[in-house]
Amino acid sequence: MIHDGSLQELRVLKSSLIVGSLSLALLVGGMVISGCGVAGADSSATDRQSERLVITGSSTVAPLVAEIGKRFEADAGVRVDVQTGGSSRGIADARNGLADIGMASRALGAAEDDLTGFTIARDGICVIIHRDNPITELSDPQVVDMFTGRLTHWDSLGGEDRRITVVNKAEGRSTLELFLKHFALDNRDVKASVVIGDNEQGIKTVAGNPGAIGYVSIGAAEHAAARGVAIKLLPMSGIAASTATLSEGNFPLARPLTLVIQGEPSTLTQRFIDYARSPAVHDLVRELSFVPAS
């Protein structure tokens, strides 16, 4: 009874804890419901589909498609709705009709011949290290040895006496899949010291650690290095990692940015795909440090 005021205050604190967790839960619930909403609207209203394009998938492709979409909206007077969620989602959504077009940051595989893919641009993955690291080139077996933990210090490669920090990508990312496939690695054998989500986090992590080695999109890495971020792009098999070598088609670790559809496209879908592959959007492709497809 003595400290009635504080009691009151505590009640408020406690209830704000509960309200806080509630609102978080509401947010999650809301996201789920809105996700379902998109699906429902799409499958039911086929005749209204002509006014709206739903495009989902790879977070690498999404910024480009969003920019193209904005320009297309202005030209064609329709709504283009771009949602990210990874290449796997793009392909799954295109397959089961949740999206008009799926986005994938890889070519379609053999098990996906029920779908049609259209390459709109190319992106390359390059190995990056800290700018102050004296190493200038690594062979493929050396990269493999580092990522599997057989090499743990830079001095055995002629670098400084520093521990190697392996920066790997999180499960499910197409960058990870492409990297593992190129080096014939199994993710279980990778001895990572840091696991990252997006390119920007990877670049920041490597720039803050002189012993780090990681891999990110060439476009993102080139852009960051040009801004003065302390990273260095390593050549692969003797070919410099740059958007120039990528556009010449020489860079070995590259991937096509693909639009995916199932069956016969509607007129609007076809128009959008043609537009995304036309020279009218090449400036947008270059702006995002990708390379036009043809």
> Which residue's CB is nearer to another protein, number 20 or number 263?
20
Strands (E), the chain: 52-57, 79-84, 101-104, 115-130, 165-169, 194-196, 212-217, 231-233, 254-262, 291-292
132 is a site residue for another protein (CB under 8 A): no
Q: Which sign, positive or negative, has the C-alpha torsion 281, 100, 219, 143?
A: negative
Specify the residue for token string 């086929």.
Answer: 46
**28 is a contact residue toward another protein (CB under 8 A):** yes
36 counts as binding another protein under rule CB under 8 A: no
Q: Per CB under 8 A, which region of 99-107, 199-207, 236-244, 278-286 contacts another protein?
A: 199-207
Q: For another protein, give the closer residue by CB, 123 or 246.
A: 123
60, 105, 199, 209: which one contacts another protein (CB under 8 A)? 209
Burial class (CB in 10 A: 0-12, 13-18, 19+), 44: exposed
Residues in 77-96 that interact with another protein by CB under 8 A: 84-86, 88-89, 92
Q: Is 204 in the site for another protein (CB under 8 A)?
A: yes
Instruction: Calculate ∠ Cα 88-94-100, nearest 5°.
Output: 135
Could you give the CA distance from residue 76 to residue 136 in angstroms, rounded to a whole number?
Answer: 49
Q: Are 167 and 191 in contact (CB under 8 A)?
A: no
* Residue 20 interacts with another protein (CB under 8 A): yes or no: yes
Q: How many CB atoms lie within 10 A of CB 160?
A: 14
Residue 89 or 277 with smaller CB distance to another protein: 89
Residue numbers at the binding site for another protein (CB under 8 A): 2-3, 5-7, 9-11, 13-14, 16-18, 20-22, 24-26, 28-29, 32, 59, 84-86, 88-89, 92, 162-163, 165, 170-173, 187-188, 192-197, 201, 204-205, 207-212
